[in-house]
Amino acid sequence: MLARMPLMKDVGARQQLTEALQWALDNLENFTTHIREVGRHGHSPNFVAFTNLMDGLESISKAWKRPIREIVHDEQSQFKQMIPAVEEA
């Protein structure tokens, strides 16, 4: 990604992203995805898809001119150990 930054047309965004990526590379011990533990399969496919899912939801929200009020996920047992429980107030 860092090698592709010169292709970015927006100078301000390019500078911020370059600095963020360089910081992550220089500080690997401080960079985390905040996943408590990796599942028994050694990967987290739902985490990988999360960014695209959120982008899609935002696009739909804007197209329909309606806010997203709630996101509900189905709890699958194979991933449940990686998703912290949300306690109701």
- Tell whether 25 and 50 lie within a shared domain: no
Q: How many helices (H) and strands (E) does the chain have?
A: 3, 0
43 and 20, same structural domain? no
| Residues 24 and 2 placed together within one structural domain of the fold | yes
Q: What is the mean pLDDT of residues 15-42?
A: 73
Q: Provide, rounded to the nearest whole percent, the portion of the chain with pLDDT above 90.
A: 25
Answer yes or no: pTM beyond 0.75. no
- The mean pLDDT of the chain is 75
Residue 88 lies in a domain: no
| Residue 1 belongs to a domain | yes
- The domain in which residue 64 lies consists of 36-69+77-83
Question: What is the rounded CA–CA span in Å between residue 67 and residue 70?
Answer: 9
83 DSSP assignment: S
Number of domains comprising the chain: 2
The reply to whether 52 falls in a domain is: yes
Say yes or no: 27 and 44 in one domain. Answer: no
**How far apart are alpha carbons 17 and 88 in whole angstroms?**
36
CA distance 41 to 43: 6
Q: In 4-73, which ranges are continuous DSSP H helix? A: 11-26, 45-64
